[in-house]
Chains A and B, each alone.
Chain A
Amino acid sequence: MKKQALSLLISVLASVCISAAACAQDNMTAVDNRVFEKPERTRAVFRHESHNERAKIDVCNECHHVMKDGKKLEHESSEDKRCSDCHGLADSGETPSLRKAFHLNCRGCHEKSGKGPVMCGECHPKEDR
């Protein structure tokens, strides 16, 4: 009986955690910039869910990539990590700095696909939203 209650508790807790994480992305409206000590620009506007819907992205590693020897690993993804876990504030070898990584990833894709914002102020509005 005790065991059952424990496993029930664990599963409830787990589902709460998972849905909280999912909601966090649902509610996400801007790129997390807390890692920058003194950000010079407002947080980049980014609505995770509606972006992916409109951009028809359903593979996480489209953005949450894992790189090895300068190549993206097709079947691995990194959504369990923060971008800043790999990308530091400065370039490090082949790994671009966090700012550069955001710019290359977001703007790079927008430029390639011809869709989405590409000018500085389109992602960084004057007032934080």
Chain B
Amino acid sequence: MHDIYQFVSGPLARLAFTVFVIGSLYRLVQMFVLVYRKEKFIFSFMSWKYSLRSIFHWIIPFAAVNMQQQPIMTLVTFTFHICLLVTPVFLLSHAVLWEERWNIRLWSLPDQLSDIMTLAVIGCCFFFWGRRIKLPEVRYLTFASDYALLGMVAAPFVTGLIAYHQWIDYPFFMILHILSGEILLMAVPFTRLSHMLFWPFTRAYMGSEFGNVRHARDW
């Protein structure tokens, strides 16, 4: 078991971070190259003002009309994204690893709060899953892989919760936790999870087109 742990927490962890960083940079460069080749004209209306205005309205809860029309989805999605990003970075156990492995000192969350945030992520995954099945307009846009992605997002949180509480087979779930986190990290640049990289550009484009071409709001 320890050999597997050493492997997943050592070389595989370095590989996962490398794939995440290099893969993300590659996808961003690829996007810019594609835009330059095919739709260079969009730069004629791209604007910092409209870009930032759009980004601002879409990162504040209920600052867009669409969010006001769907209050439950708004609450769930903000809770989900905040907990998804904050918990793994500032979890106490991870903060210890950041410091002892890479000499990066961060704040850490109280464990009880991390527990609640972890449960929130898992609960939100169930919500999104139900939503994809139930709502026709979402089902229409859903691929089978989207269900797999939801599972991949939930996996590190479920296994992390089990490992932290040492409910069953601690070493096994610890390894599974690390492994599922690494798979998730490596999947970010190459799946629909890449909206983590692309969302500011999508918003900037939409904001600029609405602001400069249609002279309308995009929120």
Asked if B5 CB lies within 8 Å of chain A CBs, one says yes
**Contact A121-B100, Cβ < 8 Å, known A40-B92, A40-B111, A114-B2:** no
The size class of the interface chain A forms with chain B is: 10 to 19
Give min CB distance, A64 to chain B, whole Å: 21
Give min CB distance, B175 to chain A, whole Å: 8
**Contact A103-B170, Cβ < 8 Å, known A118-B6, A120-B93:** no
The reply to whether B171 and A122 form a contact with Cβ atoms under 8 Å apart is: yes
Asked if A75 CB lies within 8 Å of chain B CBs, one says no
Asked if B125 CB lies within 8 Å of chain A CBs, one says no
Q: Within the assembled complex, what's the spacing in Å between the Cα atoms of A40 and B92? A: 9
Interface residue ranges of B77-92 to A (CB < 8 Å): 92
Closest residue of chain B to A120, judged by CB? B93
Asked if A111 CB lies within 8 Å of chain B CBs, one says yes
**Contact A103-B96, Cβ < 8 Å, known A114-B2, A118-B2, A121-B166:** yes
Interface string of A99-129 (1 = CB under 8 A from B): 1100110000001001000111110011000
Please pick, from A40, A100, A114, A122, the residue contacting B100 in the complex, using a CB distance under 8 A: A100
Give min CB distance, A103 to chain B, whole Å: 6
Give min CB distance, A60 to chain B, whole Å: 25
Give min CB distance, A51 to chain B, whole Å: 17
The reply to whether B170 and A121 form a contact with Cβ atoms under 8 Å apart is: yes
The reply to whether B6 and A111 form a contact with Cβ atoms under 8 Å apart is: yes
**CB within 8 Å: A-B pair count:** 30
- Chain B residues within 8 Å of A126, by CB: 165-166
Please pick, from B2, B3, B174, the residue contacting A121 in the complex, using a CB distance under 8 A: B174
**Contact A118-B5, Cβ < 8 Å, known A100-B99, A103-B100, A125-B166:** yes
The reply to whether A119 and B170 form a contact with Cβ atoms under 8 Å apart is: yes
Closest residue of chain A to B165, judged by CB? A126
- Chain A residues within 8 Å of B93, by CB: 120
A residues sitting closer than 8 Å to B (CB atoms) are 40, 99-100, 103-104, 111, 114, 118-122, 125-126
- Chain A residues within 8 Å of B6, by CB: 111, 118
The main secondary structure of chain B at its interface with chain A is helix
- Chain B residues within 8 Å of A100, by CB: 99-100
| 16 further A-B pairs in the complex, CB-CB below 8 A; given A40-B92, A40-B111 | A99-B96, A103-B96, A103-B100, A104-B100, A111-B6, A114-B2, A114-B3, A118-B5, A118-B6, A119-B171, A119-B174, A121-B163, A121-B166, A121-B170, A125-B166, A126-B165
* Residue among A103, A104, A119, A122 facing the most chain B CB atoms (10 A cut-off): A119
What are some 5 contacts across the A-B interface (CB < 8 A)?
A100-B100, A103-B100, A111-B6, A120-B93, A122-B170
Q: Within the assembled complex, what's the spacing in Å between the Cα atoms of A66 and B165? A: 37
Q: Within the assembled complex, what's the spacing in Å between the Cα atoms of A28 and B111? A: 28
Q: Within the assembled complex, what's the spacing in Å between the Cα atoms of A126 and B96? A: 17
- Chain B residues within 8 Å of A99, by CB: 96
- Chain B residues within 8 Å of A120, by CB: 93, 174
Q: Within the assembled complex, what's the spacing in Å between the Cα atoms of A118 and B93? A: 13
* Residue among A99, A100, A114, A121 facing the most chain B CB atoms (10 A cut-off): A121
- Chain B residues within 8 Å of A121, by CB: 163-164, 166, 170, 174
Closest residue of chain B to A104, judged by CB? B100
